[in-house]
Structure 1
Amino acid sequence: MLSNTWSDKQHDVKLRSNFFRDLSRILLSISRKPLLRIGSFVIDKQGYLTLSNRPLSMELQELENERIPTDVGRDYTYSTVESYVADILGIHDNRLRHQPNAVNNVQDCGYQMSALAVMRAITPLFFRRDLRRGPFIFMLTDLHPSNILVDDQWRITCLVDLEWACSRPIQMTELPYWLTNKGVDEIDVEEYDKLRQELIAIMSAEESDNLGGGTGRTSLRLSDIIEQNWTTGTFWYSLALSSPSGLFRLFYDHIHPLLSKNCSEEIGEVLPFYWVKDAGKFVATKLADRRRYDKELQLAFVANPEDC
């Protein structure tokens, strides 16, 4: 597994270049065929492969395992970027509504509500209208170092755990966020950008060498789309959409500064009222949920519940 040696050898330029080159070839190969809709492939009862299931990610499945409703049926597929993003944001809304330990205090609740309200309002700023109906491409949404097998020269030999692969908008193509060994909500921009540029340069060269290697009906270059995503901030918006636990940190650290240089302390006092009706009642409900959660958690770890 790449994870066995990544931390120790990631500064070896030769090894890193080998990995980046093979990764680029894989991403370019699976993106070459534009797909008709956003979704996941299934094998039907007649044995045919069809793109007819919802775009299932590991994060969505984990939320459902926690009994948080996602409101995305198994047969849901999407033909536009806006409809898909709206449902993803709806999943984030439901996490805040239904996860009992979602908030810590009044301020935390207000800031989460504000971030979700703004994320919904600014969607058009980060996704190109001319790409709203595609192309959609096949993506590996769980490209973790432990899912990448390499040889001693860091050439990729195998990828595993592909059950989370699905068709998504081309602008949601993400380079691995873990290149600098940081969590999704801990990325240092300057440190990450150095490795990102190195990977993009290799991908661009591979794409140029592969004649006729455009993606979709307009022969879009994947490397150009990824570079544009970084320049416009779509990288951060897409990363936030795919991270239920990291959305809020990503929003306040990377997305909000793109729109306003002054991150007003009042954002958590005004915008919650644009996320839900009767915002005060909702905050009170979430605080009660947290108190009940803490009580139940405490009871689970005492020998005699009556002493609690």
Structure 2
Amino acid sequence: MQCVDKPGYLVIEYIEESQGSMLSNTWFDNEHHTSERRKNYFHSLTRILLSITKTPLPSIGSFFIDRNGDLILGNRPLTMEFHELENESITTDIPRHSTYSNVQSYVGEILEMHDNRLHYQPNAVNDLDDCGYQMSALTAMRTVGPLIFNRSLRRGPFIFSLTDMHQSNVFVDDEWNITCLIDLEWACSKPIEMVHPPYWLTNKGVDEIELDEYSIRREEFMAALKSEEGKLKSPQARPYVLSEVMEESWTSGAFWYSLALSSPTGLFHNFYHHIHPLFSNKGTVKLGNVMPFYWVRSAGKFVGKKLEDKKLYDKNLIEAFSIDGSSTE
């Protein structure tokens, strides 16, 4: 895969290769999953990242194909997770042809999508404590965002990002050299600080990652990235060093903040376990006593409504799986 510059366009040329097999077929196999194969995968992946991120893009958004067959950056940066919310009739409130010229406006609208999930998903909360827990995290995310992202990078560069690159969308050969990537419909232009190693390197969900365990795999990935950067013929021609930005994002917490933004349900775990500790070691009890009242006006009324929504949801769910009022097993 290589990127070609044209004014106002990013043209992706695909080089046909043997597809190999899905990485997911062998990634979880302890016998096949070796450090040497993992190293090959990291080197293949970082070469792809260096190729597709070498061309800075003018805004945050998604691409569409024009009548000439070129990819034009002119659509909203919608990822699969938020498209699934729309499938549940939860609006994202982002017009189709919206793009963003700075990180703050983009982050603000992503947080509004998280707000909408809490507002309109009938089973969004489990109980009173859970509702306050979520409201507090969403309020605090708005507060700390400007303190996490690098001010000098707020207006770019923005770079092409693969947002749905899990193990089943990566094809490799027997030694885990990448041969093909599929399902690129969720690729979009994002802030450079939001580009990071795959979250699933330790086989944990986005809301299950353990810091010490993940750090080891991340260091392997970063070693491969720095090695591949050292092979570039003209590294000085790039406006930034990708590995340096990734290291800064890890230190600042932008890595965890980006993961939180990417997951409607994983935001809360990542905030309380990885973002909140960057600012306070006092725990979260006091946070939960104050912050919900700054998320929405008439917070008490909102909480009451969500608890009623949950009761109605549970009632409807029981009725949906019942026959003549009797629950089925």
Q: TM-score range by the shorter chain?
A: over 0.9
From 245, 263, 273, the equivalent of 2:293 is 273
Cα shift readout 1:140-197 (whole Å, capped 9, x = no counterpart)? 0001000000010111010000000000000000210100111111111111101100
- Where does residue 6 of structure 1 map in the other structure? 27
Q: 1:17-45 CA distances to partner (integer Å, 9 max, x unpaired)?
A: 11000000001110000001100110134
Distance 1:156 1:48 in 2: 25
TM-score by length of 1: 0.96
Shift of 1:125: 1.1
Deviates more, 1:101-110 or 1:263-272: 263-272
Aligned to 2:218: 196
CA gap of 1:26–1:46, structure 2 versus 1, over 3 A, is closer
Unaligned runs of 5+ in 2: 1-21
Question: Compared with structure 1, are the counterparts of its residues 214 and 142 closer, same or farther at alpha carbon in structure 2 (3 Å cutoff)?
Answer: farther
TM-score (normalised: structure 2): 0.90
User: Retained in 2: the 8 A contact 1:21–1:202?
Assistant: yes
Structure 1, residues 280-303: CA drift from partner, whole Å, max 9, x if none?
000001001000100010000001
Q: Identity across aligned pairs (percent)?
A: 58
Cα distance, 1:67 vs structure 2:
0.5
- Considering fraction of residues, name the structure with more strand: 2
Query: Counterpart in 1 of 2:10?
Result: none
Report the aligned-residue RMSD: 1.5
- CA distance in 2: counterparts of 1:90 and 1:298, whole angstroms: 31
Partner residue of 1:16 out of 33, 38, 53? 38
2:108 pairs with 1:86: yes
Alignment of structure 1 residues 244-283 onto 2, 5 Å: 244-283=264-303
1:274, 1:145 → 2: CA distance? Answer: 40
Distance in 2 (CA, whole Å) between partners of 1:266 and 1:132 is: 31
Take 1:176 and 1:19, find their aligned partners in 2: how far apart are those partners? 12
Match for residue 106 of structure 1?
128
**Partner of residue 294 from structure 1, selected from 302, 311, 314:** 314
Per-residue deviation at 1:46? 5.3
Q: 1:212: how far off?
A: 2.2
> For residue 175 of structure 1, what is the aligned residue in structure 2?
197
Offset of 1:269 from its aligned partner?
A: 1.8
Could you list the structure 1 runs, at least 4 aligned residues long, displaced by more than 6 angstroms after superposition.
none
Q: What SS does structure 2 have at the residue aligned with 1:82? A: helix
Q: Secondary structure at the match of 1:149?
A: strand
Aligned-pair CA distance for 1:214: 5.8
